[in-house]
Amino acid sequence: MPSVLIVEDHALFRSGLKQLIGIEPGLTVAGEAGDGLAGIRLAQSLRPDLILLDISMPELSGVEAIPRIREVAPGARILIVSMHATAGHVRAALKAGADGYLLKTADEDEFLVAIRALLKGRKYISTELTGSMIISYVDGNAEASSKADSLTPKEKMVLKLIAEGNSNKDIAAKLNLSVKTIDTHRTSFMKKLDLHNVREVTRFAMQNGLVGDGID
């Protein structure tokens, strides 16, 4: 019997997913977690067939958790379930290794269709997300066109932390680096991306799925 792990920080939504899975014959909920790190631990111990994964969560985002889940539970199928409907969030999730992306606004029938598709080894993208970019990405034909790809991992991390409202001093403390080093990374990525202020940095981060938009 296929098993499902639910990784979602909102208890009410987790409960709804459990009830929905309960009406589908042949499915069982193996466990549930309220943040990304707990999700990774359960994925390793439970080895579920399918993981329903939110994006915006405490400790570790869903996108950040995907590669680590792949390491500890390589056979699990991963379906992102999120309120984020931007192409950037979808692209980031798929690039990280998600097998599908479903909006939380989907009805019960679509939830079950998505779950069945992934358990059969197929991809699934929410019917509300029908842009040609997303379709081509899933087909494996899209080029790496995101400007975010030009950034180093450290530049991307600094950009993310700035977009989340951290100062250079705060970021230096978080990453155990000097303020001067943080300033160097900041200057570098802003030049690469042609960004000129924090507002533009935040907009870029949201459009490319590096941070949430506050509605998930």
Instruction: Name the CA radius of gyration of the chain, rounded.
Output: 18
The mean pLDDT of the chain is 86
Residue 189 placed within a domain:
yes
Q: Which one of 134, 159, 184 terminates a domain?
A: 134
Which residue in 81, 41, 44 sits closest to 60, CA to CA? 41
In a domain, 22, yes or no: yes
Q: 103-132 burial by CB neighbour count: b if 16+ within 10 A, else e?
A: bbebeeebbbebbbbbbeeebbbbeebeee
Distance (Å, whole) CA 29 – CA 12: 16
Which residue matches tokens 């309120």?
83
Distances (CA, A) of 40 to 63, 69, 97, 163: 12, 5, 14, 26
105 and 154 together in one domain = no
Listed in sequence order, the residues at least 6 apart from 162 whose beta carbon sits closer than 8 Å to its beta carbon are 171, 186, 198, 201, 202, 205
Are 115 and 168 members of one domain? no
Domain boundary among 134, 164, 196: 134
What pLDDT does 138 receive? 52
The answer for residues whose C-beta is within 8 angstroms of residue 60's C-beta and 6 or more apart is 35, 36, 37, 39, 40, 68
Which residues, other chains included, contact 142 with Cβ-Cβ below 8 Å and sequence gap of 6+?
133, 136
Q: Give residue-wise pLDDT tens across range 55-113.
A: 988 888 899 999 999 999 999 999 999 998 887 788 888 889 999 999 999 899 999 99
Strand partners, 125: 101
**Domain around 179:** 150-208
pLDDT digits (tens, 9 = 90+) for 10-29: 999 999 999 999 888 889 99
Residue 162 and residue 80 share a domain: no
Q: Is the pLDDT of residue 216 over 50?
A: no
